[in-house]
A and B are shown apart, each in its own frame.
Chain A
């Protein structure tokens, strides 16, 4: 029996119900990972430094994220007297919201076939399949820069301003290199839809784009790390010189929103990397969501590992790497891919 793709026109109520369930599950899982990523990061780095990390709240500190959340709720919400109030309040939301909604186009499994009233409907396990999926992701990732710049400027504090300006220059520089690095993948895939890109890689592990585009994968790994301001590229925070960078003046839940956005961005970059280069939900195990989550966790562990290993780079080294190494390499990769594809035809 052939299953019909569920849409708003053929079964509106089923479509809306499935949509709400998918959105709530994805949102809940994302927030759950965000909360426990803070715990995992402290644990992983703790053990790498031969410490134990959080141990007191619950078994091996498992209740730590909940305790932190409750604590931050009860903290005083300070708005500095010289700050520009409206942008100061809006900035943390402008960072968190884009990173939470980017996840919408990431596919996390094969179609789920359900029987309703004698007809079979296929529900795609993806909140929505945009035919311009990647452009949507890049657009939303670009919005995050506004939040950081506004946070730095509106605090009216020297550390915040320096952190905000540095962060925006870093993010736009690496966004460029990241955007150029993944173009080579679309030259092979001929589509920007995340769903199609995963289906093209679903044959076997050898179909993954990481084998055809190893340089693009490495470039995206580096630019992705810089894009989400993780060590060794965490210049915007740089606590040894800028206190806490753009979020110096923030407290209470507003500060927590910055933190959540950082971890949500880690999930998003991991999901994009898994989808474009590592087969997304397809392979190696038969369970789609398990594959995707496994790849996301592996990447997040990798980022924590890097944080425990490398010192922070200097700002001039950071800009030099972005503009003088990664950008030309990404362009060269596009040209080489082009030559190879033309020669094959």
Chain B
């Protein structure tokens, strides 16, 4: 069974070698004329103001949390989808209940305004 993962390992080795190799090659071949201004973070030609590690909108964290909830739902749906025809009506009702519980949560999230970006 694990045989089928051997080609992926070989492909990973080739892909890593290609990525690392091309970065190292350009590092060796490319010219190096560093300067204080050149190494500063880009800010439209102005001297950079403050740090870039600022606080971010809370929206992004909410999206990350919602993603985890719904992605776990998707993870449960995959094995169910593959077995679906064999489970028949029983499987459909079971998963229907699961999806409806999640839909209630989804409606709650929507009503609370977590999906608003204005």
| Chain A interfacial positions (CB closer than 8 Å to B) | 7-9, 19-20, 22-24, 27, 31, 72-83, 89, 92-93, 96-97, 100-101, 104, 127-131, 134-136, 155-161, 165, 168-169, 172-173, 175-176, 179-180, 183-184, 186-187, 190-192, 243, 248-249, 252-254, 256-257, 315-316, 319-320, 323-324, 327-328, 331, 334-335, 338-339, 341-342, 345
Contacts and interface: CB of A to CB of B under 8 A. Distances in A.
23 contacts: A9-B3, A19-B10, A23-B7, A73-B22, A74-B29, A75-B31, A76-B31, A93-B19, A101-B11, A127-B8, A127-B11, A128-B6, A136-B8, A156-B51, A157-B42, A157-B48, A161-B54, A169-B59, A169-B63, A175-B71, A190-B82, A334-B99, A342-B88
B112 interface: no
Nearest to B24: A253
A92 B16 CA distance: 11
A156 B52 contact: yes
B89 A81 contact: no
A27 B19 contact: no
A81 B39 contact: yes
B78 A104 contact: no
A78 B35 CA distance: 10
Contact of B6 (A8, A96, A136, A155): A8
Given A101-B15, A129-B4, A158-B54, A80 B10 contact: no
Interface of B: 3-8, 10-12, 14-16, 18-20, 22-23, 25-27, 29-34, 36, 38-44, 48, 51-54, 56, 59-60, 63-64, 66-67, 70-71, 74, 77-78, 81-86, 88-89, 92, 95-96, 99, 103, 106, 110, 115-118
Contacts of A187: 81, 84-85
A253 B99 contact: no
A335 B96 contact: yes
B74 A180 contact: yes
A104 B13 CA distance: 13
Nearest to A20: B10
B74 A176 contact: yes
Contacts of B110: 324
B60 A179 contact: no
B6 A192 contact: no
* Majority secondary structure of chain B interface residues (helix, strand, loop or mixed): helix
- Top 7 nearest A-B pairs by Cβ distance? A316-B117, A253-B26, A157-B41, A81-B39, A93-B19, A186-B81, A100-B15
B36 to A, nearest CB: 8
Contacts of B31: 74-76
Contacts of B4: 128-131
A134 B71 CA distance: 15
B14 A315 contact: no
A161 B23 CA distance: 22
A341 B43 contact: no
B10 A319 contact: no
Contacts of B85: 187, 190, 341, 345
Nearest to A70: B29
Nearest to A252: B26
Given A93-B16, A169-B60, A345-B85, 17 more contacts: A22-B7, A74-B26, A81-B36, A101-B11, A104-B11, A130-B4, A135-B78, A160-B52, A169-B64, A183-B81, A187-B85, A254-B26, A257-B23, A320-B115, A324-B110, A334-B81, A335-B96
A184 B57 CA distance: 35
Contacts of B29: 73-74
Contacts of A327: 70, 106
B112 to A, nearest CB: 13
A19 B19 contact: no
Contacts of A89: 23
